[in-house]
Amino acid sequence: MTGICEGRVCIVTGAGRGIGREHALMLASEGAKVVVNDLGGEIDGSGRSSGPAQDVVDDIAAAGGDAVVNGDDISDWEGAQRLVNQAVDTFGGLDVVVNNAGILRDRMLTNMTEEEWDAVIQVHLKGTFAPSRWAAAYWRERSKAGEPNDGRIINTSSPSGIYGNVGQANYGAAKAGIAAFTIIAAKELARYGVTVNAIAPAALTRMTENLGMGQADEATKEKMSPRWIAPIVTWLASPESREVTGRVFDVSGQALSVSEGWHRGPTAEPLDDPAQLGPVVTKLVADARPNANMFGYDEQQ
Residue type, 168: Q
**Active-site option among 158, 160, 241, 259:** 158
- In the chain, the percentage of residues whose pLDDT exceeds 70 is 91
**Active-site option among 29, 75, 157, 171:** 171
Q: Which tens digits make up the pLDDT trace of 170-200?
A: 999 999 999 999 999 999 999 999 999 999 9
Q: Which tens digits make up the pLDDT trace of 220-267?
A: 767 778 999 999 999 999 999 999 999 999 999 999 999 999 999 999
Report the pLDDT value the prediction gives residue 204, as an integer from 0 to 100.
76
Torsion of CA 201, 129, 81, 237, to 10 degrees: 40
Torsion of CA 12, 25, 35, 33, to 10 degrees: -120
CATH classification code of 9-259: 3.40.50.720
Q: Which tens digits make up the pLDDT trace of 104-113?
A: 999 999 999 9
* pLDDT over threshold 70, residue 215: no
Average pLDDT over residues 283-288: 97
**For the chain, what are the domain ranges?**
9-259, 268-301
Q: Which tens digits make up the pLDDT trace of 34-44?
A: 999 999 866 66
Report the pLDDT value the prediction gives residue 267, as an integer from 0 to 100.
98
Distances (CA, A) of 8 to 34, 55, 138, 178: 8, 21, 15, 24
**Active-site option among 29, 163, 175, 192:** 175
* Annotation says 158 is catalytic: yes
Q: Which tens digits make up the pLDDT trace of 123-159?
A: 999 999 999 999 999 999 999 999 999 999 999 999 9
* Annotation says 171 is catalytic: yes
